Every structure is written in C-alpha cells, then in structure tokens.
Amino acid sequence: MSRDSLSVDTEWAKERNAAFGKERANRVARNAVTSADVMAAARDTTKMRTYSDTFGVTVPKTAEVTNQRQSGRCWFFSAMNALRHDTMTFLDVDTIEFSQAFGMFYDKLEKANSTLEYVIRTADLPDDAREVCYVLDYGMGDGGYYSFAMNVVRKWGIVPKYAMPETACSRNSSQMNAQLERLVRKHAFTLRRMHADGASEAELRAAKQDMLADVHQLLATCLGEPPVTFDFVMKVGKGCKADAAKLSPIEPAPKPASDDAQGEKDDSRASQVIRDLGITPLQFAERYVPVDPEDYVALVSMPGESRPYGHAYHLTLTDSVQGGTPIRVLNVEPQVLEQAAIASLKAGVPCAMSCDVMQEFPRSIEDFKYVLSLDGEDLNGLFGVDLSMTRADMIDARETSLTHAMCFQGVELDADGRPKAWRIENSWGKDQGKDGYLVMSADWFRLYGGEVDVRREFVPADVLRLWDEAPVEDVAPWSNICHALGTRD
C-alpha cells in the first residue's frame, strides 16, 4: 500500500472543492444549510403538513403538561405522568402533578448507595478497570429507567408537587451533580484504599453508611428535606373514591344576579375537599395512587442476529436501588410492543415509552416542531448522500439509543388495526412541541423508538409467560444492547 493511500489526497480534495459549486443542487443546499441549519433546510413542508393532532384512540383524561427543565429526569416525569392518570380518576380531578424533586432526592440517595456498593464489589479490580470506570463515570447521573421510578415509589412513596416543590438545583441539576459526583468519587477511592489496606467488607459497609450521611447533607442543601409527613388537602370532584370520612363539601358561593354558564361550569366539578392530615409519602401512594408499582412489563424491540426476540436482559452495574426490582427488559417483535401499547390506550391508560428523540426531529422549526416522521426531513436529498440505516445496523454501529422517555397518550390506527401515528405527552413544558405534545409517525417509532412500559393486563399471555419465566441474561453496560437502551435523560 502506498503512503498516499493512507491519507486524504490534497489534489483530490481540491478537485472536489472545485466541482462542488458547479452543481445547482449543491449551491442551493449549501446556502440553505449555512443560513438556516440542517433541519430547517431539510424540512419537507408538503409531507409535514399531512400530520395532524387528531387520533382515533386517545386517553380521555390528560393533565397539565410538565417540565423537567434543564435536568435529565425525563424517565421519572414519564413514569409519574403515567401513574397520575389513575390518581386523577380516583380523585375525580382534571389534573395533578407529583413531586419530581421528591423522587430526585431519593433517586440520588439510592444511586449513591449503589455506586459505593458497586465500588466495594469491584474493589479487587484495578483503578482503570472497565467496570470501575463505568461505575464512577455514570453511577450518579440524572438518567434512569422506568424500573428506577417504580423502585422509588415502592420504597419511598409519592407526594404532590406542593409538598416538595422544584428548586434551582432540580430545575437545572448540573451544578448540584458536579459536587455530588465529586463527593461520591472521593468516597469511592477512600473505600478502595481501605480495601487495599485490608479492611473487611463489614468495615467497608460501615464506612459507606457514614459516607451516605454526606450525600444526604448535600442533597438536602440543594433540594430541601423531603417531607416525612404532610397534609394532603385538595379540591376534588363528586366522583372521588376516597374515604368519605376525609371528604367535606364545599359551601357554594352566592350566585350572582346573572346566572351565567361560567358560574355553572365552576360549580360543576370541585364539589368537595379531601383532607388527609399527617400522611406519609407511602400512605399517599397506597391511598391515592391505585397502581401497583410492580405491575408492569418492560418491552423493547432490538433487532439483530445477536439479539434474539423472546430474550430477556438485565443490565449489570446499573440498578439504582439495592434490593429493589432489577432493571430487566424483554426483547420482542415491534408489532408485539405496539399492540400492547394500543391495548393500554384503548383501555384509557397512558403508558411510558422511550425513543431516540433527536433523530430527524425539527425541534427548532416553528411551523412543525411537533412532528417526528421519516418523510418530513429530506436529509438524503439535502446532502446528496445516502444516510439510511436499518435499526439493527444502527444498534450494532452505536448510532442510536433510547435517549428520552415520554408517554403514549393516543394512537391513530389503519383499517387493519396497525398504528399509523402516535400522540406523545412530553415533559418539556407546554411551549414545546404542540402545546407540550408531539406527533410521531409509526415508522419513525419503529426505527428510532423501541420501548414501552405497560401493565401486565395489556400484554398477551404468551409474552407475559416469557416475561415471568424466560432466563435473564446479564449484559455489560458497555455492550451494544445496553448502549441501545440508553440512559433516558
């Protein structure tokens, strides 16, 4: 092989530069991209305008759109947005929001414990061993999975947002995370040195408990102290199913001289007040969130020769709650995953989902910033190169991963009952997308999506049997399957 074949030939580059501008299509594409950026220049308005926010199957009761701000908590927002649907029905209210700061506090505390526990388990490995590096690099991040949220609910409970509101550090977590990661890494190497000096596991875990006190101190400073008890007081509707002893009627206000329709509307819903005083977060979850946090199946669709369907995976070194439900997924054909989500939506129950949200997403385009589709952005035509890849190849090439969690709230079906488009509840605030929602074509989700967390009742019996009985393969967090699963943030 000649030396020149190992590098980019300078004369070849000069010829390419000269030839590029001679083509009209190249000049138009260059001017558009350099002026408006890639997504705006690639936008195909003829295709985008065919997508509408009208769906044949929709969840009848949706709440106010939430906003994770500059934090990586989409997985927790998504899970809480799915759970609150049942609370709204139970209380007969139009909206409620659970405290994401409360969940963040205990998620971080549990992650610190797990990170230090993994440090103890890998104490015999060198400092630069891949396992040690992974734990120290990623153990304390904001990202997570549906199982992380359900473990927090099962162990610590839920509180309404007013009982532990957002703070500067929950809305923008970067500064808190920087100090938290430094603290945990410092303690991690203290544990490793103790092990090298001959400390027993019992001594290491005793030291770990003292270290967690520092973590709690930092978290309480940044997020505030989580409530041990709080007063749950809220206006609810006539159909509220709560303990009647905790309900009291609202005295109707005197009607104005002109009894208009607005007065009737205001009087028609919140007819009573619930007062449950001195309640714990676990009691709130048990009494007012009528969903079993263990009652779900995590279905993914990860095609590829090394990823057979019907196979279950567990992500090692990743579980955030020691003693909780491990993060486990079942790999299934895309239509199996889709039909489980459709069954949930037909029953009026939203479900959490995950996708690679920034793929072919014109987020900054004012006209169609809510459309996720494969035909709305003509990237191949814009650049004059073939960018297409199969999902299996993208997973193997580490081109895609499930980076963001949201909620399915609706679906449009074709004549054969297959999905044509999905309605998605996001957690970026009501000013993003279309009033906080996205429209996602079915083919986009098949290429860039690939996970739903759905209740067992909506999963076919044969798939449920696999979920319950299939052997679970432990996979390293740097493997292709784990990379594809991402760390939703």
- Average pLDDT on 80-96 reads 97
> What confidence tens digit (pLDDT) does each residue in 173-199 have?
999 999 999 999 999 999 999 999 999
426 tagged catalytic: yes
Q: Are strands 230-237 and 247-249 parallel, antiparallel or unpaired?
A: unpaired
For the stretch 120-161, pLDDT in tens is: 999 999 999 999 999 999 999 999 999 999 999 999 999 999
CA–CA distance, 58 with 347 (Å, rounded to integer):
9
**Which residues does residue 232 pair with via DSSP β-bridges, in sequence order?**
276
The helix/strand/coil state of 310 is coil
For residue 289, name the pLDDT band (cuts at 50, 70, 90). Answer: very high
Taking the C-alpha atoms of residue 320 and residue 342, their distance in angstroms, rounded to an integer, is 30
Predicted confidence (pLDDT) at residue 369 exceeds the cutoff of 70:
yes
Burial class (CB in 10 A: 0-12, 13-18, 19+), 167: middle
Query: Which among 113, 311, 404, 482 is annotated as catalytic?
Result: 404
> How far apart (Å, rounded) are the C-alpha atoms in residues 138 and 127?
15
Give the closest residue to 389 by CA, choosing from 448, 450, 338.
Answer: 448
Q: For the segment 217-270, what is each residue's pLDDT rounded down to a tens digit?
A: 999 999 999 999 999 999 999 999 999 999 999 877 666 655 444 333 344 467
Mean pLDDT of the chain: 94
- Determine which one of 67, 74, 407, 480 is catalytic: 74
Instruction: Give pTM, 2 decimals.
Output: 0.93
Q: Is 133 a catalytic residue?
A: no
Residue 2 has pLDDT above 90, yes or no: no
**Active-site annotation holder among 81, 151, 177, 426:** 426
Mark whether 331 is an active-site residue.
Answer: no
Q: Write down the pLDDT at residue 263.
A: 37
pLDDT at 487: 80
For 277-291, b/e burial (b = at least 16 CB within 10 A) is eebebeebbebbbeb
Quick one: tokens of 111? 């992650």
The predicted pLDDT at position 282 comes to 98
